[in-house]
Structure 1
């Protein structure tokens, strides 16, 4: 059962978090294109699509920590430092996404915002947090696997 939970956790991370990080990273450059050429319907359509991907996959991404907790519980590592750190970083990433990235994208799409530099920065922070979580999940300092 542990292998199944771990497989679902990893697959969910790839399928759910991957698209959010890519779409969120693509949003600021496309937003700058929209600002440079306001009549570019193609860029505006792309911008709307990227925002929709971020919103939908952010909701789907809730599956990742759910299966992560189930896997960690089954493995008996819920109190491990690397896992606690990963949980904190995941929570921070969720806050950055939910409180800064998605509202910033919404404001831009609705014509209320033009802060592409700030949006690019907070998106970068979001991506760095996920990168740190990914490294911790692979390396697992102090784990018995010797990785």
Structure 2
């Protein structure tokens, strides 16, 4: 059962978190292309691309809830719920989720509205979003490393 849970956990992480990290990273440059500061015509489809990237982030973020659920079930089956590496991973996962929910997705929604309504977009807005997205991605990368290395684990790496 442990191997099945671990496999599902890893697959959920790849399928759910991967698209969010990629789409969220692509979002700020897509907004800059869709709403150029010089007032030039952004071209057809750029607003649609921005909306699509935001939708990918929203949908896969919802699906991403499976990752910690399956992770906790796996940890319970492995008997490692109290291990420091797992506790750190859980805390970092919570911070990453909070970053996505409170900082990334709402700012994406604001920028989607600005691009759709052809309002000007400040470069500072996309730069700030890129920073929050980078923090989100860095948190997930750290969790991934902790899951692989498991420092202090008696199960070995």
Smaller-chain TM-score bracket: over 0.9
List runs of 5+ in structure 1 lacking aligned partners: none
Q: Distance in 2 between matches of 1:14 and 1:39?
A: 33
RMSD: 1.3
Displaced runs of 4+ in structure 1, greater than 3 A? none
Q: TM-score, normalised by structure 1?
A: 0.96
When normalised by structure 2's length, the TM-score is 0.90
Check the 8 A contact 2:16/2:60 in 1, yes or no: yes
- 1:3-47 CA-partner distances (Å, limit 9, x unpaired): 000000000000000000000000011111112155423211111
Per-residue CA deviation, residues 33-77 of structure 1 (Å, 9 max, x unaligned), is 112155423211111100000000000000000000000001000
Instruction: Render the CA deviation track for 1:93-121: whole Å, top value 9, x for unaligned.
Output: 00000000000000000118640000000
| 1:111-137 deviation digits (Å, cap 9, x = unpaired) | 186400000000000000000000000
Is 1:91 aligned to residue 94 of structure 2?
yes
2:132 aligns with: 122
C-alpha change, 1:72 and 1:38, in structure 2 (3 Å) is: farther
1 CA distance for matches of 2:58 and 2:28? 15
Correspondent of 1:77 among 69, 80, 98? 80
Q: For the Cα contact (< 8 Å) 2:35–2:42, is it kept in 1? A: no
Instruction: Describe the shift of the 1:38–1:129 C-alpha distance in structure 2 as closer, same or farther (beyond 3 A).
Output: farther
2:20 matched to which residue of 1?
Answer: 20
Q: Find the aligned partners of 2:4 and 2:41 in 1 and give their Cα distance.
A: 48
**Does 2:154 match 1:144?**
yes
| Alignment gaps of 5+ in structure 2 | none
* Contact 2:33–2:42 (8 Å) recurs in 1: no
Picking from 54, 63, 67, the partner of 2:66 is 63
Query: Based on CA coordinates, which of the two structures has the bigger radius of gyration?
Result: 2
Which segment is superposed worse, 16-25 or 105-114? 105-114
Question: Partners of 1:86 and 1:100 in 2: how far apart?
Answer: 20
